[in-house]
Amino acid sequence: MLNYIVLTSKIYIIFAVQNFISLTLTSIIYIMRIAILMLAHKNIEQLDRLLNRLTQDFDVYLHLDQKWQINEKHFDKYTNVFLTKRYTINWGSYQQVQADAELFTQAFKKNYDYYLLISGQDIPIKSNKQIITFLEENKNVSFVDHEAFPKKAWANAFDGGYTRVIYYYGFDFKKNFTGLVLKKALALVRHIQKLTGIKRKLQPLKYYGGWNWVNLNRSAMTHIVTYLEKHPEFLESFKYTLCGDEVWIQTVLMNSDNKVINKELRYTEWIPGAENPKTITMQSFDNIKTSEALFARKFEPDVDAAIIDKVYELTA
């Protein structure tokens, strides 16, 4: 009788432990791992505010423009902000492409589920929780603004995008006397190209263009980083091109079988013909509140500090 009671007790204990483990395992919720890839070049207070919000739930890989005289030790206070190799970025230059690629390569070393490329002048217009939920629901797709060459929006100025990559441009040079001379020399080369019809050789891919602020799932990032490792000549082909950062990511990704939705998930306002987006002011707040985007850009404290406070309050 005693042996029976002991045996019954052991069976009961084993049964209870097994059920407890089963209940515990089913209660575990997988949290999506998200990396923010960020390009910053000014406004340390604005950048700190952005980092304080994002680092609560995301790791941040941060590129600081080499021209910005900022002490890198400033970022030691963040345990999940990782600085990448710095490049001197001029508008339209190859260094912009290199900075993007460096962010991609470094962040890819860790097993994130999603990667978002933003600038230091962006602000999230959804809470961290809302961003996570949205990406969890869309984990099998990437969101990238894209259009095959010839791109309609670039039809007049850039022949649909082709003149950005077949002619030589001098945006990579320093803004000194030597750089000015080299830039003028490439302008002469470009003029000769147009007169003679000589074009740079393109890579054996269908070319695409779009805004560089992309949202990539793990599969898309895997394809991009792997392609760059196997074909280093592809990235190098963007030396002395114009705004290659708006071409190289789309071109690699859209020549794969990854599923891509044609959206950038950024609220941006443009003045027709302008090279840069309009700085957001309080006039845009109602539009921001109803936007489906995850981030808005760009914000400038010296232009309108009130809208920055208002947007952060919106997602608090």
Cβ contact 43:301 at 8 Å: yes
pLDDT of residue 219: 99
Helix (H, G, I), strand (E, B) or coil at 148: strand
Q: What is the mean pLDDT of residues 285-294?
A: 98
Q: Stretch 18-36: mean pLDDT, rounded? A: 66
Rounded-to-integer distance, Cα 14 and Cα 20, Å: 10
- Quote the tokens at residue 168: 């030589």
The pTM (predicted TM-score) of the whole model is 0.88
| The one-letter amino acid at 159 | D
For residue 1, pLDDT beyond 80: no
Q: What is the pLDDT of residue 156?
A: 84
Closest CA to 223 of 261, 244, 246, 249: 249
Which pLDDT does position 154 carry in this prediction?
92
CA 278 from centre of chain: 19
The pLDDT of residue 9 is 46
Q: Which of 45-59, 232-246, 265-279 has the lowest mean pLDDT?
A: 265-279
Give dist(CA 91, CA 172) in Å, integer.
9
Residue with the bigger pLDDT between 235 and 178: it is 235
The alpha-helical segments, DSSP class H, found in 88-202 are 94-108, 128-137, 155-158, 162-166, 177-196
DSSP state of 159: G
pLDDT of residue 23: 46
Give the chain's mean pLDDT.
Answer: 91
pLDDT tens-digit series, residues 129-176: 999 999 999 999 999 999 999 999 898 888 999 999 999 999 888 888
Residue 28, pLDDT score: 57
